[in-house]
A and B are shown apart, each in its own frame.
Chain A
């Protein structure tokens, strides 16, 4: 008697859990149901399905397009990411192949938008993915070297632009020096080397030298 009670209780718990993990959406005319895959393993293609039935007649809806989404988080943005679209077959079931990249619970949502317009019906389900690790690129903090950060770039730029500013100041001083001091005749190296005085031609051009 006792094993029978335990078995019955176990079955009851499993049924409750199974029901709890599968969500359905009841619209006025359409019934959407997400079907949990038999198994889902990181890096392995899994079959994700959804069934569409008419809420009025209970008959499967054939040839209707549904969209599958998975809840995702990337670079600080959270939301549902489209993972595929499929049309329902003769049994009203649409299926896609999807490769989960992380283990754990995955929220899968299925949307059905009637082609004639109207309210979008959706259903969600939590799918458990087994396997190890993650196949996503995960940004790590990297090696933290003290001082090797954005401030280093800002510091370097400040030095460079500081020097450019210094040169700009020198240019201003050049402009002012033109008023302060008259042009001087520079004795060219050629004149010195030749042992002579300033060559006439060179003197004539000394003004801008």
Chain B
């Protein structure tokens, strides 16, 4: 037994030495650490491509990339910052926290960089990265919009065409239901897929400006309230859809991906989500198209053209990096139109935000429509979940959405609960 213990001890010490040796192997070069969430195959490739370009131009620098799981990513980044060892470059899909990082001096002020390269972005995009006069991050890739995507074949089978308004949309849903299909396949266990639908209705009932007012509320005594008729009405619309059986059975317990599979598997015509749909792995023979969420004409007496356009992911630079210049250089490479074109447009199939990265001739129908939208809407609103304090956005809003889709909560209760949590959180933040 002793001999065995001895042998094992020797072996394990050798292994430890080997490991230590291996990990310090690349110590000679300069390394920049990049943490991102681009973990789907095409997105990964896109980032690898950009890293490749950078490393070719700056041969003495190596990028160590960490791909984080989406659900835990923001927490991991926050922990790293708090622990004093943040990555040089990190992706942030949580604009609320991104602003916080900057306010606490944890991320670098990029105003100088924007003076040189900021014009690569259209004005609207640039201003989204501006906080209090400073530029705090760089948009990573794409513009995000929300639409209703549909299965062309199924819609044709049902003898329908794209609905012009909400009334017609409901008729289409009824037709699908009558045929035994799931009108709107959806998996909203995580809360945010359902939130997207709720926001569509909010757009109709309160409009973009009010949504933004709610998001940027700071005074618990002022501002729109979740119990306002407009907000409750939007929740009611969602609830009605649920009661009519338009959503997947068990939507509240399915993941987004399960809902996606349902749609891709031909079990239902409409899929309401964001503009990442083109990057899906479609089954052979699947043809899709889209339309913007139909307006509710007549009943509410107005016809706005507000819409949702947001930037999801941005790159921020830690203020304690040992290589500030190199980080800025990396950002420069990242935002080159031809790089964005190859990486995000060609490889990942998104519509990159950088000017010139998506030439008019190469745009798909969807991408063209997105650009049109960004030019002609009357007001844009942000994603509620990412811009509000996390306890409100990621916490209460997500879980209330899931509850709404499960039929566990009424629209009024949702309004009351959201209001209570939001006010409490605002009070806490004021202290």
- A and B bound? no
Give the interface of B toward A (CB within 8 A). Answer: none
Binding site for B on A (CB under 8 A): none
